[in-house]
Amino acid sequence: MFQPLAELPPPALGEREWLLECHCARPVTDLLKAQGWDVVADLDCNVHCSSPDRRVYVGLLPESQEAARGELWHIHVTDNSGTRTWRQTFGADTPAQAIAGFLAALIAFPARYCTCA
């Protein structure tokens, strides 16, 4: 019998399965494609994603110099003038599902300003 998530008891911490691995781009690219983003892979196996308004870039860059320093995933957000306002990187040890969750939260809050300010 199906129970809504809110009605399911939380698993005991010892029984919980935490995200440990998924190093392919699919959880991220599937999410972004479903939101209308452009997703392109280049000949070097890098994956480049752009939001519909071109203000957010997500890149999986395994062949970059940054990847050699541990920065595999790159997220850049720009303002209306094209100036980068903030960035976030994730290493190869971060599961792709966690990156997809980060991006899902970013997409879920489209307002520019925080309501607590």
32: left (phi over 0), alpha (psi -120 to 50) or beta: alpha
In a domain, 82, yes or no: yes
- The set of residues, in sequence order, having a beta carbon less than 8 Å from that of 41 and lying 6+ positions away, is 47, 48
Local structure of 3: helix, strand or coil: coil
pLDDT at 8: 60
**pLDDT, the chain, mean:** 86
Q: Give pTM, 2 decimals.
A: 0.80
- Strand locations in 15-115 (E): 38-41, 47-50, 56-60, 73-78, 84-90
Residue 16 pLDDT > 50, yes or no?
Answer: yes
Q: Which domain holds residue 74?
A: 22-105
In a domain, 9, yes or no: no
In a domain, 50, yes or no: yes
pLDDT over 90 percentage in the chain: 62
In a domain, 4, yes or no: no
pLDDT at 99: 95
**26-62 pLDDT tens trace:** 999 999 999 999 999 999 889 999 999 999 999 999 9
| Count of beta carbons in the 10 Å neighbourhood of residue 57 | 17
